Amino acid sequence: MDGFFNVYKPLGMTSFEVVDIIKRQFKVKAGHLGTLDPGATGVLPIAVNAATKAIRHIEQDDKEYVATLVLGIATDTQDRYGNIIDMKPVPDFSLNVIEDTLKRFKGEITQIPPMYSAKKVKGRKLYEMARSGLIVDREPIRVTIYDIILLDYQKPHLIKIKVRCSKGTYIRTLCQDIASSLNTCGHMVSLERVKAGVFESDESIAVDCIRAENLLPIDYPFRSFKKVVVSGEDIKRVLNGGKINVGSCKDVGKVCIYSDKGTFLAVGLESSGFVKVLNVFASRG
């Protein structure tokens, strides 16, 4: 059993708990792509057995979220589970003002990681320090918002958005920063991840409904990778983790390597007419 489960994480469950359910149910090695907080729902791809080696090749894939923020109230966790630390009046914004404000967040932006996060500073997780009453300086990070659109605006307090972003984006922080740009405060009240790379919520399966037949093949998340087909001695070279000549092609990037019979063999890196094998997934037998 090697491949991926496209799991829909329910509210209140940790990502680790979802992985543990898969491990115990199928007696397998498993890992997840992109942690979701207990208060978030949505797509949580689970890699099983040999597919865990594929995580490093796809963990940088874009993510897409639907989030709702409430204006006028700020919390110490930037979501609805924290303590209220500020309250401000909320003007009656026009739709155009909200949309123009969202547009300013499109592109590369800077975020300060929230204190209630798993990011480490000097070897300690920030949320551990926060729970001890400590607030420390955090280095800003650069993330990219590829798209942000307004889904709903219920005057004067509720804003619902869809965000497509790079790995490492804090949607809670984005919500707080949007509120600040509107000269008020705010916090996130709901978060759903609707897409993680090629994994989409419309095709995901509830945790308690996962069956062996729901397993997706190892090469499922590599659909955007260039396909390289090999035969004969090159198959042996690939299975032994070697390098193969692909001619005068000047492409650079990761590729999927298949045998001439259609068997998925490995992921490699193409450069200067050669492909260097990064991970072998097919049996050498």
Q: Which residues are catalytic?
A: 37
Q: Which amino acid is at 215?
A: L
Compute the distance between CA of residue 274 and CA of residue 247 in angstroms, rounded to an integer: 7
Is residue 115 within 8 A of residue 163, CB to CB? The reply is no
* Long-range contact set of residues 25-32: C-beta below 8 Å, sequence gap at least 24: 25/210, 26/1, 26/212, 28/1, 31/55
What residues contact 102, with CB distance under 8 A and at least 6 apart?
Answer: 148, 149, 150, 161, 178
Task: From 244, 249, 279, select the one nearest 265 (Cα to Cα).
Answer: 279
Distances (CA, A) of 243 to 182, 222, 249, 279, 281: 55, 20, 15, 12, 15
Q: Please, what is the Cα angle at 117 between 58 and 194, to 5 degrees?
A: 45
Q: What does the alpha-carbon distance between residue 178 and residue 215 come to, in Å, rounded to a whole number?
A: 39
Residues in a beta bridge with 222: none
